[in-house]
A and B are shown apart, each in its own frame.
Chain A
Amino acid sequence: MTDLSLYVLDIVQNSIAAGAARIDISLLREGRRLVFRVDDDGRGMSAEMCAKALDPFTTTRSTRRVGLGLPFLKLAAEQTGGTLELKSELGKGTSLSAEFDAEHIDMPPFGDFAGTVFALIQGSPDIRFVIKRQNDNREYTLDTDELLEQLGGEVPLNEPEVLAWISDFVNEQELRVVSYEL
């Protein structure tokens, strides 16, 4: 993975595969510290599976014997001196939190976050995504339920025009929250 936005896209696929109806994603930066968090209400994992999930030779899929998503993210966080924490409960859902030192030389670039949001909503228009971004005191939230309310249930979120709006919205907001000019 070459940037943080790709890690986000990859890790959230786990929540989708776990049958989540709602997925909260947050990327909050305060000073040097950046925390990427995902909370889902999917089927969750047993304590035993949760403990093994960070092992690259653990996977639920049958096409291959390896599962590299979580180990990649753990490595990326730890390379900056950060940590990865995974909590899960069967039937309740899973929470993941990865902490990075955003100014560490090995911090991956932020990447195309709008493309990640686009891909997630395009692939799972029926999941409620609540996406929160914060950079010190600037922030924005994208809640797909709010978008659906405007669309009145007549237009799905994966309609190309709606996806283009989502992508433009995130790009604009990203520029606003990362900009250092007032």
Chain B
Amino acid sequence: MKSLEELKAIRERTRGQMNLRKEDGPDNTRIVVGMATCGIAAGAKPVLSAAVDQVGRRKLDHVVVTQTGCIGMCMYEPIVEIYVPGQEKVTYVKMTPERMEKIVAEHIVNGQIVGEYTIGANE
């Protein structure tokens, strides 16, 4: 059974590293997941979990995962936008947890945009 005590252990383990990850840090890469009614109905929840899981697993301290409302292109949901500092925003559409994993590995870690999942390739 999970106990509140385990949180204390997490606190001990992660204290001191916390100042690295700030929501609006200028050097941060942002993964933005659309979580309005359209996104949720289309499957954004497991996509969000996959993003957080990958960022945690790979210890990507410069990456923040945030949520947003309706982006206005509901037929392409779930939509994920990636903001890498100094680069143009990339919009990925019809996302799945598997696509999310690939995008974290290819786009965020290796710096290669996954063309086939972008909105440009799906219009």
Q: Which of A119, A163, A165, A168 has the most chain B CB within a 10 Å cutoff?
A: A119
B35: chain A residues at CB < 8 Å are 9, 13, 119, 123
B18 touching A160, Cβ below 8 Å: no
B67 touching A123, Cβ below 8 Å: yes
Given A115-B49, A164-B56, CB of A155 within 8 Å of CB of B18? yes
Interface size class of B (residues with CB under 8 A): 35 or more
Q: How far is it, in angstroms, between the C-alpha of A63 and the C-alpha of B72 when the chains are bound?
A: 5
Majority secondary structure, A binding face: helix
The 8 A CB mask of A133-174 against B (1 = contact, 0 = none) is 000000000000011001110111001111111011100100
B55 touching A61, Cβ below 8 Å: no
A64 touching B74, Cβ below 8 Å: yes
A9: chain B residues at CB < 8 Å are 35, 40, 45
Majority secondary structure, B binding face: helix
Asked if B121 is at the interface (CB within 8 A of a chain A CB), the reply is no
The smallest C-beta distance from A19 to any residue of chain B, in angstroms, reads 14
A58: chain B residues at CB < 8 Å are none
B14 touching A159, Cβ below 8 Å: yes
Asked if A69 is at the interface (CB within 8 A of a chain B CB), the reply is yes
Q: How far is it, in angstroms, between the C-alpha of A172 and the C-alpha of B69 when the chains are bound?
A: 30
A interface residues (Cβ-Cβ under 8 A, vs B): 1-2, 6, 9-10, 13, 17, 61, 63-64, 67-69, 72, 112, 115-116, 118-119, 122-123, 146-147, 150-152, 154-156, 159-165, 167-169, 172
Q: What are 25 residue pairs bridging A and B, where the CB atoms are less than 8 Å apart in the complex?
A: A6-B40, A6-B45, A10-B36, A10-B37, A13-B40, A115-B45, A119-B35, A119-B48, A119-B67, A122-B52, A122-B65, A146-B4, A147-B7, A150-B11, A151-B7, A151-B11, A152-B11, A154-B11, A154-B14, A155-B14, A160-B52, A160-B55, A163-B56, A164-B56, A165-B6
17 extra interface residue pairs, beta carbon distance < 8 Å, beyond A10-B40, A155-B11, A162-B7: A1-B41, A6-B40, A6-B45, A13-B35, A17-B69, A63-B69, A67-B37, A68-B37, A115-B45, A119-B35, A123-B35, A123-B67, A150-B7, A154-B18, A161-B56, A165-B7, A172-B2
The 3 closest A-B CB pairs, nearest first, are A160-B56, A150-B7, A123-B67
